[in-house]
Structure 1
Amino acid sequence: MLVVLRVKEIPPCQWRNFFLSAGALAKADCALGLFRYFSAQSTYAQASADETFMPGRLHILVYLLILTRANAQTLGGNTVYNFLKLSNTPQLTALGGINISNQTQDIGLAFNNPSLLRPVMHTQANMVFNSFYAGIKNYHLMWGYHANSLNTTFAAGINYFSYGSIAETDMMGNVLGNMRPADYVAQLSAARQYGERWHYGVTAKFIHSSYGIYSSSGVAMDIGIAYYDSIHLWQVSLVAKNMGAQLKQYAGSSSGDLPFDLQLGISKRLAHAPLQFSLTLNQLHQFDTRYNDTLFNSETGLAQDSKDKKYIFDKFFRHVTLAVQLFAGDKIEVTAGYNYLRRKELNITNAGNGLNGFSLGVGVLFKKIQIRYARSYYQNNSSYNQFGLNLRLNDYFGSGGLLNRAGNK
């Protein structure tokens, strides 16, 4: 089995006179290389909308999308906190890793789009465990709460990555001890409904990254707007993600850019068939996301004429993630997704790439619990599995419990 995972950023623990042992470097390379295919790029971007788009308070969110300027993003993924782009729940992973328009009762999807929060998610908890390559562990927890008096649905969540124990060495290879590198993001979200079909939400994030003596912290915000047509079964959403900055830089480094992303998603459920299709466009602020990655393929990279118009198809579909869902009654969901960007950026030249870029998942929905599983393919014979549970806490503590009484105040 051949697995190629690339490092797009020099790990902070390798800077200046601080190095890892050879074995630790291999583990760090594998860990950070996993995030390779998530590339966010632009010089400056500005979302536009018509002032008459919607009346009332929803104008505020539209104006924020209009006026928000995304900090410079370098082609090739040279941004900080790239773990923010990884899918945190099995359903999102099964949908191709990028989806903002799939409206379900899974609160985990609202972690990436606050406008998907709904009152029905009151007291729902989402718990996910994900085992990546090289012993990397990911833990995710999210909890929802609806306040009737405020007509607002809130959610709190955390996404934590542990890279295990790694030996810390000096330039001569002398072991100084062990360190446990980790990344996490903690966030608070709030969402409201406007009229019968519109929802809007905002998320505030605190981000922290720690690699031995090198650590960094930052803040960011997501803003989302969603439209749901229950008659024709259309769902449309627009999200501006990771607008923020570093509060503390890694030692010896300058301030980095966050992985800003402007996404548009559309989902359509068929009226007379148990199927739903989704199309998600990401990185709308930068059309040409191609670049010559000689670290991955030093012999070929991109073709010399890659700027030619004949590559317009490739440039466009690098923004596209497709998904389809099959609903077997109201208890089972089967999902398949395809991420073109992931496949193109992790394909190996002159080699079979199998199901690279594809993902699959299944959800079993009981009255009091949802069980979800996803499998995502990164390269030929290389995939990872993700497991998740959704629980409504009031179903276990009783409808008259403290949480339910608090939400009705």
Structure 2
Amino acid sequence: MLKKITSILFFFVVTNSVSQVAGRNVFSFLNTATDARQIALGGKVLTLVDDVDQPKWNPATINLDLDRRLSVNYTSYLADISIGSISYAHRFSRYSRTIHSNITYINYGTLIQADEEGNETGTFGASDVALSAGYSYQIPNTSIHVGANARLIYSSIANFSSSAFTVDLGAVYYNIEKPYVISLVLRNIGMQLSTFNGTSEKIPFEIAIGASYLLENVPLRWYATVDNLQQWNISAANPSNATSDLDGNVTEEEISFLDNAFRHVIIGAELFPKRAINLRVGYNFRRGKELQVQNVRTFGGISFGFGLRMNKVKLNYAYSRYHSASNVSTFGISINFDKDYKRNISTNY
């Protein structure tokens, strides 16, 4: 039985490991961060073992401490696009493990409809929604935890729609006596169930590794993620960095080996991670490079924010810098509904 399951998972990984970059796949919103803490730390942290939003990115982080925690996030994104997510974890009995659920949606607002000649014929809407449920398991006599998410996805554009089913697989090494956490995630393993126009499109499959480290004498935790390991070249030439000669010949930007390597990297830091007030900052190298404007310092790729805990309620805020003309704010609230007893993650994870 185990051999059969392994063969099935291997098949899904291989069939999804084809060259993929953002903008060339259906359901690309699956790789868009929606919660404030995640966004403030750069947008793709995989090692948060105390955050009910984290299992959306790494199901191996589902643990007993997340029981009866609810998180709601909202972003007023670019071009009147609104993004939101709801996460909740629940342990149904003292003999069961915690089940995690998440709903993520994107509403693209009202769009203008036009014919082939550009004549406006009305308006239409577009939206994406994903519903997931996850579970984790600790490998006996180790500090390694593995988990999986199952996700249903639905997308609509005017009168067209598409659906899909995906699975996330994750593993995390966490030991309360160690200052570091290490993780590995395979995200968006799956296929379309129905298509927009009869043509199947690729799901944005991704392999990523993450790590975090808590400094010994300073209340600061570092985070680092290396994403898109299934594909080495993820670079795209920035038109702003193109050059032209006197004859009008345009030469696109040449991206070096080191430049492309850094585009896989996202870093973040959290000051006072265990206190009532947390300060956070992150940097996404790929976003910073792709949104760079020549001879203009836009600080694209930078994000920062804070968390404020008041008893069982925690408020989170994130500010993301995309361009000198576009910045995004994300707001989140997390509530702990567990009134019976307090758990300690060091003994229950």
Residue 372 of structure 1: aligned partner: 316
- Alignment equivalent of 1:353, drawn from 274, 297, 304: 297
Match of 1:130 in 2: 75
In 1: Cα distance, 2:7 partner to 2:288 partner:
33
- Looking at structure 1, the residues matched to 150 and 273 of structure 2 have their Cα atoms a distance apart, in angstroms, of 36
CA contact (8 A) 1:73 1:257 kept: no
Identity %: 26
Contact 1:71-1:257 at 8 Å conserved across structures = no
Q: Distance between the aligned counterparts of 1:363 and 1:351, measured in 2?
A: 35
1:159 paired residue number: 104
- Structure 2 vs 1, CA of residues 281 and 61 (structure 1 numbering), >3 Å: closer, same or farther? farther
Matched residue, 1:85 = 31
User: Residue deviations 1:303-361, cap 9 Å, x none?
Assistant: 2xx4xxxx22112111111111100762011111111011111112x231322111101
Check the 8 A contact 2:283/2:301 in 1, yes or no.
Answer: yes
Unaligned runs of 5+ in 2: 244-249, 342-349
Instruction: Mark the runs of 5 or more structure 1 residues left unpaired by the alignment.
Output: 1-56, 401-409
- Matched position secondary structure for 1:73: coil
Give the 3 Å change call, closer, same or farther, for CA 343–196 of structure 1 in structure 2.
same
Quote the Cα distance in structure 2 between the aligned partners of 1:178 and 1:353.
37
Letter in 1 for 2:145: H
Call closer, same or farther: CA 1:353–1:219 in 2, change over 3 Å.
Answer: farther
Aligned to 1:118: 63
Letter in 2 for 1:385: S
CA distance in structure 1 between the aligned counterparts of 2:241 and 2:221, rounded to whole angstroms: 36
**Higher mean displacement: 264-273 or 325-334:** 325-334
* Counterpart code for 2:175: D
Give the CA deviation at 1:151: 3.5
Structure 2 distance, partners of 1:382, 1:177, is 28
Q: Distance in 2 between matches of 1:193 and 1:61?
A: 18
Q: Letter of the aligned partner of 2:91 in structure 1?
A: H
- Find the residue that maps to 2:109 and give its secondary structure: coil
Aligned to 1:376, what secondary structure does the other structure show? strand
Residue number in structure 2 paired with 1:386? 330
Please state whether the residue corresponding to 1:68 is helix, strand or coil: helix
Residues 169/312 of structure 1: CA separation in 2 closer, same or farther (3 Å cut): closer
328 and 291 in structure 1: CA distance in 2 versus 1, 3 angstrom threshold: closer
Q: Distance in 1 between the 2:47 and 2:212 partners?
A: 6
Q: TM-score, normalised by structure 2?
A: 0.87
Q: After TM superposition, list the pairs within 5 Å mapping 1:193-272 onto structure 2.
A: 193-194=138-139, 195=141, 197-251=143-197, 254-272=199-217
Residue aligning to 2:247: none
User: Matches of 2:102 and 2:82 in 1, distance apart?
Assistant: 17
Answer whether contact 1:216 1:249 (CA < 8 A) is retained.
yes
Q: SS of 2:223's equivalent? A: strand
In 2, Cα distance between equivalents of 1:62 and 1:331: 46
Once residues 351 and 229 of structure 1 are traced to their aligned partners in structure 2, the CA distance between those partners, rounded to angstroms, is 47
One-letter identity of the residue aligned with 2:306: V
Please state if 1:289 is matched with 2:234. Answer: yes
State the distance in 2 between where 1:381 and 1:125 align.
34
CA separation in 1, counterparts of 2:282 and 2:291? 16
TM-score normalised by the chain length of structure 1: 0.75
Kindly provide the amino acid, as one letter, of the partner of residue 335 in structure 2: L
Amino acid corresponding to residue 174 of structure 2 in structure 1: Y
* Partner of residue 252, structure 2: 301
Q: Distance in 2 between matches of 1:92 and 1:283?
A: 18
Q: Runs (4+) of structure 1 moved beyond 6 Å?
A: 60-63
**Which structure has greater strand proportion?**
2
Structure 2: distance between partners of 1:62 and 1:232: 34
Aligned partner of 1:355: which letter?
F
Contact 1:91 1:109 in 2 (8 A): no
Equivalent residue pairs, number:
330
8 Å contact from structure 2 (residues 237, 290) kept in 1: no
Code of the residue aligned with 1:302 in structure 2: it is E
RMSD: 2.5
- Partner Cα separation in structure 1 for residue 285 and residue 6 of structure 2: 30
Post-superposition shift, 1:169? 3.0
**Segment of structure 1 superposing worse, 359-368 or 67-76:** 67-76
Paired amino acid for 2:305 = G
Q: Which residue of 1 aligns with 2:345?
A: none
Match of 1:407 in 2: none
- The residue type equivalent to 2:278 in the other structure is E
State the shift of 1:111 in Å. Answer: 1.3
